[in-house]
Structure formats: C-alpha cells, structure tokens
Chains A and B, each alone.
Chain A
C-alpha cells in the first residue's frame, strides 16, 4: 500500500512526461493520477487500525554498505501522522492539478510531470522510516519546486526562487551533515532503531531543527516566504503553504524531537519563544498587508509558528493539536490560495484596494470565501478551532503565560481575516472587478466545493483524525 502511494505519482509523472499526448489528454491523465492517489489514500485510511501504530510496513535492503557499516534500507510505513500527511498531500496536489488545468499552464507535460514528481517526493518523505530515504524525498521535493517557481511563477520569480534556494539549501546541507554523522556514529539510518536509543547532541539537534524550521518556517527564518508566496503560481503557493510547510513541522515531530528528546527539551524555550514571537509577529503584519496573498502568507507564518508551539509544548494535548492543525491549516490554506488564484484569473490582481464587492449578487463567491476565512480565523466550532484549542491547552500546561499570550493570536486572526474577507467581498465592486463578473463557474466550484466539504467533515468529526494520531 505504502509503495503504491509512493510510486503511483512517479509512474504518472513518467507517463505524462513521455507520452506525446495533446494538452487536454495530458491534463486529464495527470488529474486522473492525482485522483487515483486520493482514492488509494482513502483506502489506506479505511484499512487503518486507529491504535495500531506504524502500519503498511515495507522494509527491504537497498544499499547494504553506505559509508561505515551503515546500511540504507527501503523502509516505509504509515502511522497516523504519516497517513494524514499523505492524505493531505494527495488532496492538495489533486486540488492544485485541478486549478492548473483550469488556468491552463504553458508546456503542460513538463508542468504536470513536475507536479507529480513533487507528489512522489512528498509521499516518500512522509512515509520514509530510513533517514537517507527521507533525505532523498526531501531533496526530490525541492527540485521540482525550484523549477515550478522559477519558470511558471510571476514577474519577480527569479529573485524569489533564488531566496528560496539559498534558504532551503542551507537547511538541507545542515541536515545532510547531521544525518551522515548520526548514521555513522550509530551504524544505522533506520529511524525506529535510532529512536529506540535516544541521543543527546546539541549540534545535531540544532542542525535538524534548523532545516525543518526554515521549511516551516519558524520566525525569524521566514525571509524566503513572502516573495515565494507572492511570485509562485497560485497552485504552487497553495502547495507551499498548505503541504510543503508541513514537511518542516513533520520533520520536527518525526526526527528532531524523538531522536534527541532531552536535547529538544532543554532547548524548548528558544523554540517556544521564537514561535510565540512568530505567531504574534505574523498576525500583526498580516493585518497591514495590501494584497490578498500577503495577508494569507503572513497568516500562514503565524499558524505554522503556532504549530511549532504545539510541538514544543511537550505534552499530548499540544502535539495532538499540532498534528490536527497541520491537517486543518493544510486544507484551509490550499483552499484560500486557490480561491485567490480564481480572483487573480478573473481580475488580474490580488491587491485588496482594487478588489471588493465579490459578494454582490455572487452568492457562491461569498460563501466559499467566507468559509475559507472563517476556518482560517478559527471560528469556534470549526476544526481549526479544535486544533488551536488543543495546542493552546498544551502550551498553557507547559507555561500559563505562553498559552495566554498565544490565545491573543485568535483575536489578531479575527482582525486580519475579517479585513481580508471584507476587502474582497464587501461594499461596491472594486475598480479591477470586471463589470458584470459572474459567480463561480462549475469548473471553479469543482475545485472549491470538495475542499469546503472536507473542512466541514473535519469539523463534524475531529475525533476521526485526533484518535488516529
């Protein structure tokens, strides 16, 4: 099952790249592969034993002697965390592919092949139980991303991609050194074996943490984020914010903390402090952003820092909340950025001052934007509210002031998201809104509605996720 999930997108990528199909068929094939991946993921979810630990295990030899007596194995499996990250990936990529089909990308074979390679890499890194295998997934994720950003992005894509590369490369190299050192000293790269014997090493922990915190990103390592989120095509931004940022949080949960539990515990105040600063800082800055993407970008920064707070609260409430928030924030920000993409396609801008009035006589527009905004601000009752509540409870158990200060983020989120929604939806039509602009069309609804339904399902039954992680 796990291998099928990993290699289906890769096979799809090869097929899309090699077969000389016309545009429509290429798009159709790519979309079909992403949907098949979703179906496979759903099957894995149905067959998943809620309290069964790591499942769908596959463990084969790969490179018998890699460096000093340390074998690299093809060891993949899924526990609850992996499963839901894989599902998030499948949903996010399918939605992004749908959006790309709608927007009509140039050189579709290359574009969709890269998108599918990205999916392969993400699923690999979310399921890998071997550190080298994980690293392969990690780097394999970066390469299609650089190309997708650098070639299909907006006007400032060159500089944005450069910043992104510089930042992530620093992280990747640090992690590579850390993995090599750890493998060489422990004579294994196998994660369960490594976790069974906890290590203590300030430098290795910091190297891992740095790589993951850049990806998440943790304040103040977010220098790459604003321009990357602004210059990428909407579906790539949706994936960056919704899915790829989660790879950073996943790395913290899967590697940095379990490999070095006591070191992580010693350093928690640094990370908690930065994350709290990042939550409030991102939320404040989001409030003053002039563009729809900017608001969501800094909102994402704040939310990812909240997730880091949950992880380093070092209790079950915080970590369960953090994992559930990874799922929720993933779906919400994929939906939000794709919706922004629809507006951009219609109006040619995402500047809030030039937009407005989308709700006038356009009930679908107003409803889907409203739901995205409400979930993003964690309206009580929403799935995001549940995950934030658990994170904050965990933070409060770690330190009362931390939890109380982080709760302020809820108020700030209400401020910036309502500003975002009102600027898009309310009052008179903005100057860039075409006269007589229609409501959402069926093709756009086909992307938005499944994501909205997913959010409603997560809201009705958070237990379904929380009990499995």
Chain B
C-alpha cells in the first residue's frame, strides 16, 4: 500500500473510528473528553487530506487523463456474480479539493461545537453524529463509483436527519428532520434509477467505466442520455435544496447552529454541485438537461434571494442566502463553468460557515433568540463578532472572493440564451444579495437596541463567546479573506482552474469581460447595500419604499406557496388514498374474503366433528379430508 493510499484511507476512516469509539465509550468518558476526541478525529482527517493534496500537487501534470488520478480499492463490497460493487475511492484534483474543504471546515465547526454544545446533556451523541457526517461526506466525495457515491449521498442525508432532529423533545425539529429525509429520499431514488440505467446498458457503475463508454453507448441528446442526466439532477436538486425540492432546507434550521453551518451551508448542500462537476461528461452528453441545471439555478437564486428579503429569523435569512448562492453554483456548472462553480463552492464554504457561526454567537449571547426584530444595536456589546460578521457579509455580497463574478464573467464569455439568462439573473441576484445581507447586519448590530436584547444579553465582559467558539470563527474569517486575497493577488482562481482542468474543464473569461462584469456586479451589490442603509435610517422612508411591493412581499413571506402546494398535491392525496385503501379495500375485500371462507370452513368442520372444538381439531379434520381426496386421486389413477 502506497503512502498516498494509506493516507486516503486514514482521511476517510478517521471520523468513522470516532463514531465507533465514542459510541462504545458512551457515558464512561466525560462529556468534555468526548467533545475533544470528536474534534481530534476530524483533525486527523484534515491532516491526512492536507498531505494527500500536497503529494498529489507534486506529481507531474501530464497531458493525458490519468495524470494525478489514483484509484484505490479496499475490497469487493457486493456482488451478484455478474455485477460487482467495489469499495474503492478516486483520488484526483476534484476529490482532493472537496476533501480539503470538508475536513477543514468540518474540523473548525466540530471545534466550535465544543463551546456551543457545552451545556447540552446529549453532548456526546452530538459529536458522534458530527463524526458520522464527516465520514459520510468524505465517502461521498471520495468514492469512485456511483453506488458508493449513493451510499455517501444517503448517509449524509441520515446524518442531516439525526442532527436536524437533535433536540427531539420538541415537535418542530422532528418534523423538519423527517421532511429533510423524505425529500432527500426522492433524490436518492433519482440517483438509484440512474444507476439502474448504467448497469443495464453498461454493466458497470465505476466512474471511469461509465464516463469512457457513455458517449459511445448513448448518443448525445438521446432519450437515455437525457434520462441519466435528469435523474442525477433530481438527486442534486434534492440534496442542494434547489427548486422544486428545496422546502426542507429552511426548516432544517431547527437543528443546532453548528449543524446549520457545517451541513446546511458549507458542505452537504453543495454536494449537488460536486455531482454535476464530477459527472459533467454525462451532462455534456445531454445539453438540454445541462441547460436545465443552469435554469434551475437561476430560478432558485432569484426566488431564495427574494424570500431572504422578508425573513425575520436570523438563521433562516442565512439559509435562504445559502440556497441562493448554491443557485449560482448550479448556474455555473449548468453553463459548463465547472471550476467557477467549484471555486464559489470553496469560498462559500468559508464565508457562509463564518456567517452561521457568527450568528450562533449572537444567538448564544441572547439565550437562544433568533428573531432579528428583537435584536439591534448589538455592535457595541459584540464588537469583535460584528467585525467578523462584516467580513462574511462583504464576502457574501461579492467584493472579494470574486467567485460570483467569475461565474458571471464565464456566462458572458460563453454566450447563448442560457448563459445570457444566467448573466442577467445573476446580476439581479447580486442586487438582492446586497439588500438582504446588509439588512441582516443592520437589524442585528445597528440601530437602537431593543428592550428584549437589553434584558437577555449575556454579560460579555469575559469575552463574547467561549474561546473554542470565537477562535474557530476567526479562523473561518481568515479563510474567507485568504481565499479572496489570493484570488486577487496570486490568482488562486487560475490555479484552481488549472488544478481542475482535466477533471472539470473551465471557461476562461477574457480580461475585458471579466472586468466589466466585476464592475457591474460590484455596482449592483453596493447599490443594494446602500439602499438598505438609506431606507432603514428612517422608518417612514422604509415604509414608503416597501408599500408598493407589499403584494410581492406577501408571496415571499408565504415562500412562494411551495409548502402549501406540496400539501395539497402530494401529502394529502397520498394520505387520503392510504386511508381509503385501508378502510375500504383492505377491510372489506381482503379481510372480508378471509372471514367468509373461515365462516364456511367452520360450519363444515362443526358438521364433521360436532363434539370437538378448537383450531387443532379443525386442522386435523381438514388435513384428513385432504388426504382422503388425495387417496381417492391415487386410487383413481391406479385403477386406470
């Protein structure tokens, strides 16, 4: 086993070892030790990922597709004789980027949880679940075949279910957890059916085998090519909370804040983007579906941006923002700008985790309050948190990671109807982002402090948050700044693009279009921010601006009626049908027939054995009758 292989397995299995050991240890170890141990396993994973990335980076970059690509097989997991599923991982530039993001942000957020979950009686279990999530997510991004990818895909959904419903004493988290799991099960089924197609037509689910044969087996734009891409898109849409399978994500905010940051912002929800980038060969073989990816992304980024404008729960504002930002990533991979989409995924992981964890400090400081209308004026009490939140906000609006601009520039470079829609929609979205991001900051940290906040604010003289919380947020801020500055100063965007070039080709925007797009995007973002600052300065000014928009606000406040639609179109018909089937078909037809037959038999048996009673007697009677019939049959045949 090469050291690269050993390190890859360590990276994958370290969190699983954490799950097993912490479960076995149970309450024999202290809560604090469980928390630190849980973090330690994540850290081991991150360290291994860093070394893997380093080693891979120092391999020669040949111009054939096997460069920097390693397939490691542990064992054959399942087989039917004709179709095998190996337990294998693919280490290549794309998976390494994801491994780094997942383990790095993952370690920071697990560490943050040490402080955040300190007073929770189920603290140990929380760290088991976090480690389970990290293992699942790493399996998702490292697996070298679709079946194992689906396993990781489903297990991150399971971890998400367990963590959303972590506080299961209340009904809301339990319902939210179930909703998330079931909507994701729809996505899982999509990927599963895509796998059925691959096995039927190609006999393999190995990435390499499928990508190599896909073009030859399925003509571009043919029915099967479209179906495969569409079914993968169903999975991606469900996991990444894009229209129409997005309604679970806001509800998922019922989970603890570190969970929202790790799973529902930085890593799991962006898995759909990874899937499209990883399987871009299949999407390029179905151009219509790939355009659909982009259109779904644009629709989601606009709708989620609009809803974020009217939300009042600090975590839900950030959740809709996440949905919107993932919309950008979908738009990017939908027009073929894979490295642009992946770059936005990376920077978003840092700045969105930063925003969530910063919000977590605020919520923690206010004893669990999440309504921005009850906050205000917190900048003076939480100055350092405010500063960190500004870093995240500026990154979100798009001033320095430039990752959003990269997507828009690529759209302009690419041209055509879809790309034009992406470009226009992306700029409108940038305006919305400027508004909702600034509104969040304005309502939370500035203006007069509400009496509620005055009463509930913790004493912050000993620091704004426990050190494990504060410094991890600071580290994420450093990551957000770094990813931005490196992009400007050292061209990490180009570095990432060339790093990914063989796995996920990029669209290079020409310099002019690049600069123009950036200028426009900054302009509209800044306009949105300025509008908020200007409008919120005076209540009557705000009222005057929002009054003509009240109709739209109602639609946005009702979340574009998706939940209601699902209730009426899917949930109610299904449960009414189930009840009706049970009440009428099952009770009357199925059970009725049995009772009728039983009645007849009992009548007969009463005649045959009057004095006797009981089921065994009945059985014996019938058995003898049967034997008699049989004997008659044999005798009949024998006499022939």
Contact = CB atoms under 8 A, between A and B. Distances in A.
Contact of A162 (B76, B602, B626): B602
Contact of B189 (A223, A227, A411): A411
Nearest to A364: B26
Contacts of A172: 626
A68 B637 contact: yes
B490 interface: no
B616 A147 contact: yes
Contacts of A161: 615
B616 A408 contact: no
Nearest to A284: B578
Interface in A375-421: 379-381, 385-386, 389-390, 392-393, 396-397, 400, 403-404, 407-408, 410-411, 414-415, 418-419
B54 interface: no
A357 B630 CA distance: 56
B578 A411 contact: no
Given A162-B615, A385-B154, A427-B169, A467 B79 contact: yes
Interface residues of A, number: 79
Contact of B77 (A139, A146, A289, A462): A462
A411 B179 CA distance: 12
A311 to B, nearest CB: 14
A223 B615 contact: no
B125 A165 contact: no
Contacts of B152: 380-381
B151 interface: yes
Contact of B595 (A139, A163, A180, A288): A163
Contacts of B200: 393, 396-397, 400
Contacts of A415: 182, 185
A192 interface: no
Contacts of A461: 75, 77
B616 A404 contact: no
A407 B619 CA distance: 40
B189 A407 contact: yes
Nearest to B185: A414
A146 B615 contact: yes
A169 interface: yes
Interface of A: 67-68, 139, 142-143, 146-147, 150, 158-159, 161-163, 165-167, 169-170, 172-173, 176-177, 180, 184, 220, 222-224, 226-227, 281, 284-285, 287-289, 316-317, 320-321, 357, 359-361, 363, 367, 374, 379-381, 385-386, 389-390, 392-393, 396-397, 400, 403-404, 407-408, 410-411, 414-415, 418-419, 422, 425-428, 461-463, 466-467
Nearest to B83: A317
A325 to B, nearest CB: 12
A291 to B, nearest CB: 13
B155 interface: yes
23 contacts: A143-B619, A150-B615, A173-B622, A223-B590, A224-B594, A285-B578, A285-B582, A287-B575, A288-B579, A379-B158, A381-B154, A381-B155, A385-B151, A393-B195, A393-B199, A396-B193, A400-B197, A407-B192, A410-B189, A411-B185, A426-B165, A426-B168, A463-B77
Given A146-B619, A390-B78, A411-B189, A184 B637 contact: yes
Interface string B79-119: 11111010000000000000000000000000000000000
A177 B633 contact: yes
A385 to B, nearest CB: 7
Nearest to A173: B626
B147 interface: yes
Contact of A427 (B81, B168, B196, B581): B168
B155 A379 contact: yes
A163 B594 contact: yes
A223 B591 contact: yes
Contacts of A284: 574, 577-578, 581
A463 B189 CA distance: 23
B239 to A, nearest CB: 12
B193 A466 contact: no
A149 to B, nearest CB: 8
A394 to B, nearest CB: 8
Interface stretch (B170-178, B335-343, B472-480): B170-178
A121 to B, nearest CB: 15
A193 B367 CA distance: 77
Given A176-B630, A288-B578, A427 B174 contact: yes
A462 B77 CA distance: 6
Given A146-B619, A426-B174, A404 B594 contact: no
Given A226-B586, A317-B83, A374-B158, 7 more contacts: A68-B637, A68-B638, A158-B615, A223-B593, A320-B79, A400-B196, A467-B79
Nearest to B589: A220
Contacts of A321: 80
Given A223-B594, A426-B174, A285 B586 contact: yes
B181 A414 contact: yes
Contacts of A392: 192, 196
A386 B121 CA distance: 36
B246 to A, nearest CB: 17
A397 B154 CA distance: 23
Contacts of A359: 168
A418 B578 contact: no
